[in-house]
């Protein structure tokens, strides 16, 4: 099934004028990256899907304004980049909220929840 999607995507790239002439060239560009990750890296993640992924977390407890802004930034990063390496949550741009990133903004339990949600969102791209 994945091969079919790759061929269809390759054909669309060619019709749009992309400078990919053969299926082998396309595979070189795409590499072993799953198609869902590749597409998300170009298009980002739909804003509604990103919001939905964090909606229960945002509504299940009192969060500070800093915590809410952290999640909003996380959602924006996902919509722009399609996925986020969970380790990035400890680095810029997330350190603008606290020097330790997610670990300084949330309790240990909530930080783990945020990291798991990011992994789940990333996993959907691999599966899809």
Size of the chain, expressed as the number of residues it contains = 128
Domain boundaries, the chain: 2-32, 47-127
| pLDDT tens per residue across span 41-86 | 555 567 787 888 899 999 987 999 999 999 999 998 888 887 889 9
| pLDDT tens per residue across span 2-13 | 445 455 555 555
Query: CA–CA distance from 71 to each of 76, 118, 121 (Å)?
Result: 9, 11, 14
Any residues with CB less than 8 A from the CB of 91 and at least 6 apart, and which? 101
Element (H, E) at 116: helix 108-127
pTM, to two decimals: 0.68
């Amino acid at each position: 099934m994945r091969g079919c999607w790759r061929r269809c995507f390759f054909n669309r790239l060619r019709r749009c004028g992309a400078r990919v002439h053969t299926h082998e060239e396309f595979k070189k560009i795409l590499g072993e990256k799953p198609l869902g990750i590749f597409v998300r890296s170009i298009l980002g993640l739909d804003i509604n899907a990103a919001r939905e992924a964090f909606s229960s977390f945002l509504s299940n407890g009192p969060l500070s304004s800093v915590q809410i802004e952290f999640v909003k930034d996380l959602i924006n990063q996902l919509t722009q980049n399609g996925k986020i390496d969970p380790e990035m949550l400890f680095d810029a741009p997330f350190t603008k909220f606290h020097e330790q990133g997610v670990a300084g903004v949330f309790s240990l339990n909530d930080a783990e929840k945020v990291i798991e949600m990011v992994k789940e969102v990333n996993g959907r791209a691999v599966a899809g």
